[in-house]
Amino acid sequence: MRRTLLLLNITTTILVLVVQQNNACFVRSVMRFVQKAVIRWDGFDQKYIQMLSVNDKNVDIQYWNSNLGDDKSIKIKFDHEYKILEHWIPDLPLKVIIHGWLDSIVHKDGVFCIKTAYINVGGYNVITVDWGGIAGNRNYMLPMLMTSKIGARLSKVLDNIVDLGIMNSEDIHLIGHSLGAHIAGVCGSLIKSGKIGRITGLDPAGPGFEFAKLQKKGLKKTDALFVDIIHTSGGSTGIYHSAGHADFFPNGGTVPQSGCYDGMQIERIIGLVGCSHSRAYMLYEDSVYHANSMMAVKCKSWNDYVEEKCYGNTSTPMGHGTSTKVRGDFYLRTKGEAPFDASEIPKEDL
């Protein structure tokens, strides 16, 4: 633990030195080194994972809709999925929202703000997957290695719901943040009732998946008919490489995201990476309320986008309104606070 804290302190110091220059390549290199060192020094016995069970207590699955409201939900117990039948709204698609490490539904400002957005807008069945009983473990290794088991459990729950005859698998849209994105991927790869329609990965976790690879079952574009990914801390807490049918890189997709850098005070620098990592679900929440905003342009690189070499290329909204027909890497600028759409803001004001 002392070594972990020492490495994190060293990383913070280096970030202080480079963040003003926004040297993304250097930051990514530093974070890769620290991630590998922290994970390998953490000393975790993988046999312990096999002893852990996934149950209705440590993985709390709840059903929501606009008729029930934002404060009332129906608990979905494994093999008792039929209890949602009296509340299910026919002919509406299903959104399934999954949080990441150290998060839970009790955190009102976390990824479940997306659940609230969909309920406020209306027109959707919504399921939240709160695996805080496992994700709350501060030893990152445990939640990271457990993502495959949680994804497998979720696939069985969704198969059971499809078997009720109230929807098809292509009507399912999984939305996962950080480790939750990889849970969504495992779920999509294992579901037996047919390909899931869409998976959205919100800054999928990098440590253990892209760097210091200890978990082979991560999100990939074969996990659903359409996989889109929003990168906001690529190369640090999030993956940097393109892994979906469509990958979005707001503000270059790396640390710091617009509005996350606020001076050189050490307490603000510490929150720099976390702010950028969480920005992914904040952007998505905003896209639910403003479905055709945050237009992204297909480009080969962030530099090409900045140098305006992508004029006339394919464009699509990022987030909720993304076209499932688009393919490739997409770039855009965003503002530092909601509403995040920056299409009408002069570049010098961003």
Cα 23 to Cα 29, 193, 252, 271, 298: the distances in Å are: 10, 46, 11, 18, 23
Are 205 and 144 a contacting pair, CB within 8 Å?
yes
Burial code of 306-332, b = ≥16 C-beta within 10 A, e = fewer? Answer: eeeebeeebebbbbbebebebeebbbb
214: nearest Cα among 322, 281, 141: 141
Where in the sequence numbering do the catalytic residues fall? 178, 203, 277
Distance CA 300, CA 283 (A): 22
CB 117 within 8 A of CB 20: no
Determine the Cα angle at 195 with ends 176 and 100, to 5°.
10
Q: How many helices (H) and strands (E) does the chain have?
A: 10, 11
Query: Starting at the edge strand that comes first in sequence, how are the strands of the sheet with 246-250 ordered?
Result: 74-75, 60-65, 125-130, 94-98, 172-177, 198-202, 226-230, 246-250, 328-332, 295-298, 315-317
